[in-house]
Structure 1
């Protein structure tokens, strides 16, 4: 919470002391790789949504984690912090390019370019954007492709956010929403009523995404859309229209999307990485030893990996069998419990 902007203000010394204690606690955590992946997810959100209290504090705790767990533990996280500074520089270059090319847009556009290998994986969608946004995307692509060769941009609209001015009957209200929510609301600029299926088709989005978007705008606290029937469940037979009577005591309203439980995906990603780590440890050990009995191989693999996690013996056995099937190892013909490395 001390790294999150907007929380209780503490002195730099108090924050440093707290971070030091947090890192010391890490020594007692057996599954450090799982901690690292959850931490990387939280760090990504702080950086991307400008929620971090200080880049210096982020770098300070990463330096301590690096000292405690090694450079490999923090390499991606350090890359994320550096990446964001490079992205700010790229945005400045984009603004200068637009000025030099005499390019104009109907919207204010900020693009954050990230390096795929550093950041958590995010779902990319072919969201059908309104023309105002399409113009901005095409303009940035033109700038980027002219300045960077052999790199491909993948647009992650789920991480975008928009400030949209809603001209309601009572008063104008600024809506702080995601790019996807903005694309949906702009469908209603004509004042027409749209069915669930029409919204889905025009957005070119899947059912899960459409349901989350419509629920956030018609069933939550801020009902910018009115739905028929007027209940709290989104069904494919529903229809929607703009709530022109919508008002709020504030002139700026933030409308979040329903949270997605990412814990399952994080655990799945860590399990996949562990399989790769075990494979690498087995091959590395057998390449140096050439011939080894099963028990000794398992012990050496555990010894190599226990700094990050305690691998399950059954999983190691399963990975050994997989490496045998892929012809990295073979069993000794006279002793099935002895393995040979296959060059």
Structure 2
């Protein structure tokens, strides 16, 4: 859709320049038409625009950075017409997080370029969290440099690393500031002892360096490179941490039941089923499922695929949980809706605190001038009623159409 809109926009611009000699009145009317057209479907164009940029910033074969930069400039022209910029920001932030954490971005220069363009259009408040995400990535890179020196002094310390296999593992950690990144559900999983030793070593180092900070591990975002000795040759598997935990169950046994995998990994039931599907039912099948079938059931058994072979030495096994589901999409829209409610509540309290008493029509007029996203009178009235119920405001008993601020 966005590609078609960009092409249509280019045709209209050419038409005005050639047929109308670039007349400013025609340009202004065209601007009004685009605003009405793009905002007729409320949040959908903003969501699609964020996803379009995600595809472009991941990189396309045969496309140079200069060509992508030109597309970004054209997209920003359409972006100016959007009223639901907060919807765009929510989806863009979620996609940016995946690109940064999973190494999907084709160019950090392009990533920083689009942030700069957004900052110019919407101000520093709009991009503060996006810039914070880049800051976290840079700080994590520096942190891992110092940690690698610390690790060399601890690697042969039997009180820290008791298992020999722990010394063969590498750990890279990205420390994310909670307020900058999208919210991720907390998940406790069962990790092998070798992993636990590395996690505890980093945890002690980090908390000694930054006292008072609390680390919450997010295994759903972890990525691993596994070296696997198949009978037909050694391979490296690029997998998620959840896939790693499942495959680790087969390091000693060739056959493991669903119940045993669940007990050893402690992965949430739905997430575990999707993870097993990706390993046993996808294009790259390093496991066999018995009985055969797409769905993973409680009584299923899984076998290590001894006949696995592939031309490439390193194979990436895609994670089903990394693909956006309709549920995740709905949650993003719900988060935007909640943020809008908070913004309206804050605006009402700010106005009433300054004015003390205000008529309903005057309050609505000031709200429409302050709220930066599309809102209806019904939406605003609901927030006023909510604040009355929470004793922030009250109706004037002498003038039912007026509100009074309660200090």
TM-score where L is the length of structure 2: 0.80
SS of match in other structure, 2:100:
helix
- Aligned with 1:333 (options 367, 376, 397): 397
Structure (1/2) with the larger helix percentage: 2
SS of match in other structure, 2:215:
coil
Displacement after TM superposition at 1:18 (Å): 2.6
C-alpha distance 102-204 of structure 1, shift in aligned 2 (>3 A): closer
Distance 1:4 1:213 in 2: 24
- Aligned with 1:298 (options 364, 368, 375): 364
Question: RMSD over aligned Cα, in angstroms?
Answer: 1.6
C-alpha distance 327-77 of structure 1, shift in aligned 2 (>3 A): same
Which residue number corresponds to residue 216 of structure 2?
154
1:227-277: CA deviations, max 9, x gaps?
111111111121112111111222221111112313111101111111111
Distance 2:94 2:128 in 1: 14
Which residue number corresponds to residue 27 of structure 1?
80
In structure 2, runs of 5+ residues without a counterpart are 1-54, 162-166
SS of match in other structure, 1:75:
helix
C-alpha distance 206-101 of structure 1, shift in aligned 2 (>3 A): closer
Tell me, yes or no, if structure 1 residue 46 matches structure 2 residue 99.
yes
Displacement after TM superposition at 1:6 (Å): 5.9
Which residue number corresponds to residue 341 of structure 2?
275
Which residue number corresponds to residue 67 of structure 1?
120
- 2:191/2:245 contact within 8 Å kept: yes
Of the two structures, which has the highest relative contact order with CA contacts closer than 8 Å and spacing of 6 or more?
Answer: 1
Which residue number corresponds to residue 233 of structure 1?
295
Displacement after TM superposition at 1:310 (Å): 0.8
SS of match in other structure, 2:288:
strand
Which residue number corresponds to residue 113 of structure 1?
175
Query: Which structure has the greater CA radius of gyration?
Result: 2
Which residue number corresponds to residue 36 of structure 1?
89
SS of match in other structure, 1:227:
strand
Tell me, yes or no, if structure 1 residue 130 matches structure 2 residue 192.
yes
- 1:55/1:81 contact within 8 Å kept: no
Distance 2:379 2:91 in 1: 22
Query: How many residues are aligned here?
Result: 340
Distance 1:62 1:85 in 2: 16
C-alpha distance 74-8 of structure 1, shift in aligned 2 (>3 A): farther
- Aligned with 1:263 (options 321, 329, 332): 329
In structure 1, runs of 5+ residues without a counterpart are none
C-alpha distance 16-226 of structure 1, shift in aligned 2 (>3 A): closer
Displacement after TM superposition at 1:5 (Å): 4.3
Distance 1:81 1:320 in 2: 38
Deviates more, 1:173-182 or 1:55-64: 55-64
Which residue number corresponds to residue 4 of structure 1?
58
